[in-house]
Amino acid sequence: MDLSNQASYLRDSCGLGGVVCNVGGENYLNSDDEWSQFVKGVRSVRENNLRVWIYDETGYPSLSAGGGVLQGHPDFESLEMVYDKGSTPLFYKRPSYEFTHACNNFFEARRYPNPLDPRATGRFINLTHEAYLEHLGPELYGEVEAFFTDEPSLLAVNLGQLSEDVRNGVKVRDSIDTSKRPLAAIPWVEGLSEKYRAKYNEDLTPHLQSLFEGASPEDKEIRQKYWSLIGDIFAAAYHEPIQNWCNTTRLANQNNGPVSSGHGLREESLLMHVPLEGNKLQALAGLDIPGLDYLNSDPKSWTNIEEEFLGGWQAAVLPTSVAQLTGKRLVLCEMGDFLQTLSGEDPATLQEMQSSTAWQMAWGVTEFALYYRISYGEEFPFRSESTHKAYCDFVGRINSIVRDAKPEKATLLYYPIYDMQREYQPTASPADFKTQNEKVELIENSFNQLGISLSKAQIPFVLIDYLFLGKARITSKGTISIGANEYSSLAIPQGVILPPNIEVLVEKMKVNGIKVLEADHNQSVDELITGLSSLEKIVPERNEIAYGKFSRSGHDIHLLVNSGTEVYKGQLTVLQKGNWSVMDPQTGKIAQIKSTIINDRNALPVDLEPNQTLIFVSN
């Protein structure tokens, strides 16, 4: 099949709206033949009116340029500072590779450049982004929408090992030193001590031990300062240079060309946000189109926080929150059923694919890069080109209504990264609650319970950390103003210690009539959030219904997704009375209904089959 036929096949038979692509070949970025084929492919895709994104790496994590960044520049490799008890010296630097994500991922074991070193990022841009511009030429390059960066991270943390059967199938580019000892480690870059002194007017060296252990207020203050600085450096050394290069190049190309997009590692674990990025909200804010990956097509997974990787509420809410806080709308998800097929289950059905995508769209995700296999042939005949097309049509119908609409969210949930930065202590063994003090588990559990309870109660919310909250303004209307949005309530997890300026701000909120809900052990989270009950909600309550409200051109839009296994019959109370359109994105059918009065409220009838999605739009 030639390139034009491939593109039309993806568009017409499979329903796809675009491709995420990169130059291929064994000689990544250095083969004229591969570049020629890539350019022809992009041109063919655009001639068939498909959108184009560029994946900025071969495999993952991004920043390696297929190993090219470190070729001739070994000093650009990731560094860690380790704590070697009983040795002299106690603290020393070494390359960060063994026991890290760099040698323990599904693609390839290869040494990794330092995302805290702007020299490494500069070389990555030179080898990757500038090469795409050169080979595509300004006109074709200008038709690309985004560069997608995949799971760049600070390496100095043990995430645990892949299973042996998976590891045996992973290519090893750079040999792994089996004699190297696992030690507690923190990310490092040359000049970090000087940056610490410049920011805090004190020397870090006498306090290195506090970065690894200690429970005194002084120890925790040192840790928080260090990880806050790491968050600053990561943003300034990695995300900002890429974003700035994209924007500068766009301006020079008549405002045409890709913006920056991507996602980080381990969205599902608050604890991991510290060693992997310093502050995940801060890292995501450095992307023009923040994103996530969600390779789980169990529609109920967002309701579950008991097992690893099943806390999907957090994965989706992080980038959608950043978009809301920074005045953006587009959010991308790498979507698939990898967790199902990896565990030996059948691939997801069409209904499961649709429902697993729609709950994210209800919360604000707009773009989807698909890791769904298009066809399984006779093995699983329910997954074919027609399935793929029906799925893509479904996503397109929803986006035709909500992609250009404004998400309406009135509640803020405090993202306690400040406390995690204070409490996190590096460990030689895989990092989890067992390696941390009890407060870490208390805070993360409370944060998770608040997030999932708000989600199950159909209360749309935005995560906010101490940095964004510090920019907030209390209005005369008794709301919290951040950017172009206003919020009427703030929920705070149990066990947190607010920075002094945020503590003052929260007290002012209370004085001005803003609802501040502070979790504690005296009442359940579900009891706590009853104070946030909205005039717009489903009656009776059902935990498996994902909900999002949007506004567009004077119309109220409500998106409901039944992630459960039982039919839901009830009412949706709404503010606007009169005529409404009810849209079924699975069939494309539109019905007209009229609100009724129930208990002095305008109400619409809701009848949702398992895995069904409905959109209600005021006329």
Domains annotated on the chain, with CATH: 3-66+116-162+217-405 (3.20.20.80), 411-532 (3.40.50), 538-618 (2.60.40.1180)
> How confident is the model at residue 47, as a pLDDT?
96
Q: Give per-residue burial for 548-582: e unless 16+ CB within 10 Å, then b.
A: bbbeeeeebbbbbbbbbeeebebbbbbeeeeebbb
Whether residue 288 is predicted with pLDDT greater than 90 in this model: the reply is: yes
> How confident is the model at residue 616, as a pLDDT?
99
> How confident is the model at residue 209, as a pLDDT?
98
Amino acid at 601: R
> How confident is the model at residue 161, as a pLDDT?
86
DSSP labels, 397-432: HHHHHHTTSEE---EEEE--HHHHHHH----SSPPS
What percentage of the chain carries pLDDT values higher than 70?
A: 99
- Return the closest-CA partner of residue 347 out of 308, 312, 382: 382
Residues 576-595: what's their mean pLDDT?
98
Amino acid at 425: Q
At 605, the pLDDT band (50, 70, 90 cuts) reads very high
Residues 602-611: what's their mean pLDDT?
98
Supply the pTM of this predicted model. Answer: 0.96
Q: Which residue has the higher pLDDT, 550 or 529?
A: 550
Residues 256-278: what's their mean pLDDT?
96
> How confident is the model at residue 116, as a pLDDT?
99
Over the stretch 70-112, which tens digit does the pLDDT of each residue have? Answer: 999 999 999 999 999 989 999 999 999 999 999 999 999 999 9
Q: Which residue has the higher pLDDT, 154 or 535?
A: 154
- Quick check: helix, strand or coil at residue 44? helix
> How confident is the model at residue 166, as a pLDDT?
83
Average model confidence (pLDDT) for the chain?
Answer: 96
Whether residue 535 is predicted with pLDDT greater than 90 in this model: the reply is: no
What percentage of the chain carries pLDDT values higher than 90?
A: 93
> How confident is the model at residue 572, as a pLDDT?
98
> How confident is the model at residue 2, as a pLDDT?
76
Residues 168-186: what's their mean pLDDT?
93
Residues 302-306: what's their mean pLDDT?
81
Whether residue 1 is predicted with pLDDT greater than 80 in this model: the reply is: no
Residues 136-143: what's their mean pLDDT?
98
> How confident is the model at residue 355, as a pLDDT?
98
> How confident is the model at residue 418, as a pLDDT?
99
CA pair distance 258, 119, nearest whole angstrom: 22
Integer CA distances (angstroms), 352 to 228, 291, 300, 577, in order = 40, 21, 9, 33
At 115, the pLDDT band (50, 70, 90 cuts) reads very high
Residues 273-298: what's their mean pLDDT?
97
At 307, the pLDDT band (50, 70, 90 cuts) reads low
Whether residue 530 is predicted with pLDDT greater than 90 in this model: the reply is: no
> How confident is the model at residue 51, as a pLDDT?
98
Whether residue 314 is predicted with pLDDT greater than 80 in this model: the reply is: yes
Burial of 377 (0-12, 13-18, 19+ CB in 10 A): exposed
Over the stretch 446-476, which tens digit does the pLDDT of each residue have? Answer: 999 999 999 999 999 999 999 999 999 999 9
- Report the helix count and the strand count for the chain, using DSSP H and E: 19, 29
